[in-house]
Amino acid sequence: HPSLKRLGCSTNPLTGRDVSYNTALTQLYCSNIQLAELDVSHNTALGGLDCSNNSLTELDVSQNTAMDVFECYNNQLTELDVSQNTALGYLNCSGNQINGGNMEVLVASLPTVDVDYWGENGSIIVIDLDSETEQNVITTTQVATARGKNWTVYGLIDDDWQEYDGSEPTYTISLPESFEHGTVECDKQTAYEGQTVTLTVKPDNGYELETLTVTFTNENEPSGAPLRLRGGSLELTPGENGTYT
């Protein structure tokens, strides 16, 4: 109905939702419904949008200039621009695939939060470090830019939302060109601080793994020093089928 102002359709088994005729909408809750696409370009009065836990690969919110609360976490977004959402004070975009230059664009697009209006800094939840599928990456420099616009940056760390300083540096992962009596594979070529890396060890028939050692080097550490992430030594956790994380 064109005069509908609030719509909640979360947790319904839908793959599409046409809200183009609901031009008076101010609140839209459409999480957990397997959405592959969402068009909110006609919903210019929208103040709050929750489209989390779907399968969105892109989302245009440039026409939603009144939106002050926006949740799009756990999708497949590779980019996000909120430059037209000048009233925005809360954003949760964790659990997506925004990194590198696209994270730079997102941070640059953040409006400066009106602290007098909100009573505090804006909140942006940008990364879930407890999730093995998290592909968002925000660096310390990008966090500093967000803070300069009166945003507090949060990450999920050990089941708790905590203020997050950003991940830098990114670690390059390399393996020897060959192994004797088996193979070792890694699921990533680079990893940021706190990210899970999985090594898969496959011994040849008649052989078994005796030891597995991970070392790292940088300008401030001697060659061969134990890898340290977030202030501690790396511990390898054995999994199934010869995997270690």
Distance CA 61, CA 175 (A): 42
Nearest residue to 52 via CA among 19, 95, 106:
95
What is the model's pLDDT at position 228? Answer: 38
DSSP state of 87: T
Nearest residue to 142 via CA among 170, 107, 113:
107
- Per residue in 149-188, pLDDT (tens digit) is 999 999 998 889 999 999 865 677 888 888 888 888 888 8
| Contact present, 129 and 156 (Cβ < 8 Å) | yes
Name the percent of the chain lying above pLDDT 90.
47
